[in-house]
Structure 1
Amino acid sequence: MESLSSAIAYKPSLNSGEIIDLRQRQTLASQFNCSFPNHKVIFCKTCSANNLALRNTWNSINLFQCRSNASHVEGPQIENDTVKELRRKKLGIFVSGGGSNFQAIHDASSRGLIHGDVSVLVTDKASCGGAEYARDKGIPVLLFPRSKNCPEGLSSIDLINALRTFEVDFLLLAGYLKLIPTELVQAYPKCILNIHPSLLPAFGGKGFYGMKVHRAVIASGARFSGPTVHFVDEHYDTGLILAQRVVPVLANDTPEQLAARVLHEEHNVYAEVVAALCEDRIVWRDDGVPLIRSKANPHEYY
């Protein structure tokens, strides 16, 4: 049986017809709900079977395995229990341009700083720098969305099925300028991240991207800017904020100078957040706000 990955070894970009044909010849992993009423471990409510093993002190449960299909709604919050095995997560990255954040994440993964691997790249521009970088590294490239200018692109449903074929855990937007369709947001609840070059909710929304953001920040007289990592919802830049870094706006800054300083922080904070995501260190406060549990001290959050 031909696999999707082997097919892409011969053709880096797959169109919708080829995805459908391959999908029909493969069996996707079934999903099920699991939960354990344990005073020691509060784990995800919606899970699928795979390789995340947690040691539990409760006598009736010695070991169970669970693979996250949505960001952990209530944890895991682990007190004295330790993570015995942590499965490497599979990442799908979306780009429209050069993909410097994509490259930074891929580099951090290659150096062992992220417990996950970039399994597939999604782009709306087949010849962009990010797509070329992916092909050079042997990373499969999918074209999305289908349009008049890109008839070989995938539909939303075909993209979802392709991502499931690659067994992607999390989606990361890294300079992808298209609005993510509702179907994709619903298929990956609390599993899609984006990075924006301002301190949201300021200077966000439709039309605010790239140098336009930095020009607006300087023109406003704001004294601080910086990147924001947030969860993706059905709108531009309105998802829950997960992490931010503050960058000073200097008196004589040009948009290019400010952009360079913000981009440097983007590369750092995005890689750190993705590392936390892959290590299941994203937790949710009772009011629905996401936090990152410190790796050095599990009782500290930021």
Structure 2
Amino acid sequence: MIRLAILASGSGSNAEKIMEHFQNSSKGHVALVASNKPDAFVLERAKNFQVPTFTFTKKEMEAGVLLDKLREEKIDWVILAGFLLKIPDDLIRAFPNRMVNIHPALLPKYGGKGMYGAYVHEAVKAAGDKETGITIHLVNEHYDEGKIIFQAATSVTPEDTPDSIAQKVHALEHRYFPEVIESLI
């Protein structure tokens, strides 16, 4: 069975949907949830699914502590679900074409350093875009530039606010991310 690790920095609603999806899967299971924030709510969500957790600092990640933990846990795939740090190149090389991220926009629009969460939805609203969505992509050495695996769109109306756009995007994330991960593994 494929062993998945989820990296997340915040609340973890996507991580929860992934753990929920894989708790009865015959293809894979979530073996670890790791976070760079010891108070991230995603760690509580993991405990609810009896998934082991691991926390680390940016400096520890850059020193290889996270990579060592992933190897120790025999992780096959790394899933970024709201993880806000740039992944070190050695970690990316350790999981070639086996590290996937979700981005809350239709890349290549609104990608790159600093474009996450509310910042993306505010940019979509400010630009007057008629649609936005999600992009699921492989991770490479550049923010949000890895090979695109899947995209799904939703409309944006003039009445939408950044918050209502976020709700529409979260619905897409929760619906599609677990399914796309399962199809990849």
SS in 2 for 1:245: strand
Match of 2:112, as an amino acid? G
SS in 2 for 1:132: helix
Give 1:145-160 correspondences, 5 Å limit. Answer: 145-147=57-59, 153=60, 155-160=62-67
Give 1:147-296 correspondences, 5 Å limit. Answer: 147=59, 153=60, 155-278=62-185
Instruction: Please give the per-residue CA displacement for 1:98-127, whole angstroms capped at 9, x wherever unaligned.
Output: 111100011111243x72110011101111
Match of 2:22, as an amino acid? S
By relative contact order (CA 8 Å, sep 6+), the higher-ranking structure is: 2
Q: Does 1:121 align with 2:33?
A: yes
Distance 1:111 1:258 in 2: 31
Distance 1:217 1:136 in 2: 34
SS in 1 for 2:142: coil
Distance 2:39 2:100 in 1: 24
Give 1:6-25 correspondences, 5 Å limit. Answer: none
Give the structure with the higher percent helix.
2
Unaligned runs of 5+ in 2: none
Q: 1:135 to 1:259 in 2, by over 3 A?
A: same
Distance 2:102 2:172 in 1: 11
SS in 1 for 2:50: coil
SS in 2 for 1:199: coil
Q: Which residue of 2 aligns with 1:140?
A: 52
Q: Does 1:95 align with 2:2?
A: no
Distance 1:275 1:158 in 2: 27
Distance 1:229 1:118 in 2: 18
| TM superposition shift of 1:156 | 4.1
Identity of aligned residues (%): 37
Q: 1:139 to 1:181 in 2, by over 3 A?
A: same
Instruction: Please give the per-residue CA displacement for 1:119-176, whole angstroms capped at 9, x wherever unaligned.
Output: 01110111111011112332221223344xxxxx555423222211211110000000
SS in 2 for 1:194: strand
Q: Which residue of 1 aligns with 2:19?
A: 106
| TM superposition shift of 1:236 | 1.0
Give me the TM-score of the superposition, normalised by structure 2. Answer: 0.95
CA RMSD of aligned residues (A): 1.4
Q: 1:156 to 1:187 in 2, by over 3 A?
A: farther
